[in-house]
């Protein structure tokens, strides 16, 4: 059989004329998307496209993460736990995808990266607006991070909203309080623009949830969703650190930080500390 005879025939219904109508590239605005890769190395370095696309795809997923986290927060505010859990699950799977994606960038050797690193100037992932918004929505609030965006009013405003708005955890705890559990007033009345500080009184609330799971089933499941999310986020951070270490060793970062040791400090952070602490209490007299 010749190759031509082996072709999968185009079925008669397959549309081939798209004049004046929406087609694939039009719907997805691929002209814009695929003309947005601008490697700067001169002569062009063959590996810079990988570096650009790795970042751009991550930024696309971050866009969806922000969207879903804002969605989840709204569903929690509206007492719709089922829909909130669906959004949280989606965020978790996105995190797993972008964590897995580090393996593509890890094919970039230190020598190859060193050949074009200078074109990046002071640019750094540290200046990612959407990444910072995700951190803020999850509770790692730090107004100092806004300084980086002083020269970009739109980014500054977007992040100010994320900084001053309540977090996904705030929304969940308000819902838990509406269900009649004794969430401390200090939690419900806190200044939501401040970073989360562990609240010992909340551990007791979660102990009740985790010790009577059938009574608090959906709260218990949502609590576990948050733990899943935190875990997935930390794995992303860890793979970033390991990729950075194998690519630039202990060089300082283009963003001006110490590099690996700066990134390592983020591994000690936890968005939902009471959900970890409660595990020490479970099953104890």
Ligand X SMILES: N[C@@H](CC(=O)c1ccccc1NC=O)C(=O)O
Give Cα separations from 13 to 7, 9, 24, 99 (angstroms): 17, 11, 17, 40
Q: What is the dihedral of CA 165, 235, 253, 36, to 10 degrees?
A: -70
Does 53 count as an annotated binding residue?
yes
Does 94 count as an annotated binding residue?
no
Tokens standing for residue 142: 């730090």
CA-to-CA distance for 136 and 147, rounded, in angstroms? Answer: 15
Decide whether 208 or 245 has the Cβ nearer to ligand X.
Answer: 245
DSSP string, 12-66: TT-----TTS--HHHHHTHHHHHT------SSPPTTHHHHHHHHHHHHHHHHHHH
Please report whether residue 33 would count as binding ligand X according to CB under 6 A: no
Please report whether residue 156 would count as binding ligand HEM according to CB under 6 A: no
Q: How far is the CB of 26 from ligand HEM (least distance, A)?
A: 28
The partner in contact with residue 262, picked from ligand X, ligand HEM, none with C-beta cut-offs of 5 to 8 angstroms by kind, is ligand HEM
Please report whether residue 125 would count as binding ligand X according to CB under 6 A: yes
Q: How far is the CB of 136 from ligand X (least distance, A)?
A: 18
Give Cα separations from 96 to 87, 102, 140, 146 (angstroms): 14, 10, 20, 27
Q: How far is the CB of 56 from ligand HEM (least distance, A)?
A: 9
Contacts of 24 (CB under 8 A, 6+ apart): 30
Q: How far is the CB of 136 from ligand HEM (least distance, A)?
A: 12
Part of the chain binding ligand X (CB under 6 A), chosen from 64-72, 91-99, 120-128, 133-141: 120-128
Q: What mask of x and - would describe binding to ligand HEM in positions 236 to 265, judged by CB under 6 A?
A: ----x--xx--xx----xxxxx-x--xx--
Please report whether residue 117 would count as binding ligand X according to CB under 6 A: yes
Q: What is the dihedral of CA 30, 129, 230, 179, to 10 degrees?
A: -100
CA-to-CA distance for 248 and 106, rounded, in angstroms? Answer: 11
Decide whether 18 or 250 has the Cβ nearer to ligand X.
Answer: 250
Please report whether residue 266 would count as binding ligand HEM according to CB under 6 A: yes
The partner in contact with residue 120, picked from ligand HEM, ligand X, none with C-beta cut-offs of 5 to 8 angstroms by kind, is ligand X
Does 240 count as an annotated binding residue?
yes
Please report whether residue 253 would count as binding ligand X according to CB under 6 A: yes
The partner in contact with residue 131, picked from ligand X, ligand HEM, none with C-beta cut-offs of 5 to 8 angstroms by kind, is ligand HEM
């Amino acid at each position: 059989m010749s190759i031509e005879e082996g072709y999968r025939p185009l079925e008669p219904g397959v549309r081939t004329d798209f004049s004046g109508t929406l087609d694939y590239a039009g719907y997805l605005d691929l002209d814009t998307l695929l003309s947005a890769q601008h490697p700067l190395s001169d002569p062009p370095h063959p590996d810079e496209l990988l570096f650009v696309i790795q970042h751009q795809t991550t930024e696309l997923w971050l866009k969806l993460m922000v969207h879903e986290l804002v969605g989840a927060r709204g569903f929690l505010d509206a007492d719709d736990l089922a829909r909130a859990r669906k959004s949280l699950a989606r965020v978790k799977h996105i995190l797993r995808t972008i964590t897995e994606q580090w393996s593509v960038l890890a094919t970039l050797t230190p020598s190859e990266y060193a050949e074009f690193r200078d074109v990046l100037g002071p640019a750094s992932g540290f200046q990612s607006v959407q990444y910072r918004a995700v951190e803020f929505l999850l509770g790692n609030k730090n107004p100092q991070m806004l300084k980086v965006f002083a020269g970009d009013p739109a980014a500054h405003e977007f992040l100010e909203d994320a900084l001053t708005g309540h977090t996904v955890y705030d929304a969940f705890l308000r819902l838990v309080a509406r269900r009649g559990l004794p969430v401390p007033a200090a939690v419900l009345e806190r200044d939501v623009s401040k970073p989360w500080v562990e609240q010992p009184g909340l551990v007791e609330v979660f102990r009740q949830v985790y010790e009577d799971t059938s009574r608090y089933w959906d709260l218990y499941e949502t609590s576990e969703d948050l733990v899943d999310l935190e875990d997935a986020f930390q794995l992303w951070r860890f793979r970033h650190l390991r990729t950075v270490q194998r690519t630039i060793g202990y060089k300082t970062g283009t963003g001006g930080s110490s590099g690996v040791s700066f990134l390592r400090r983020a591994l000690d952070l936890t968005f939902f500390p009471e959900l970890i602490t409660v595990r020490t209490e479970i099953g104890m007299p």
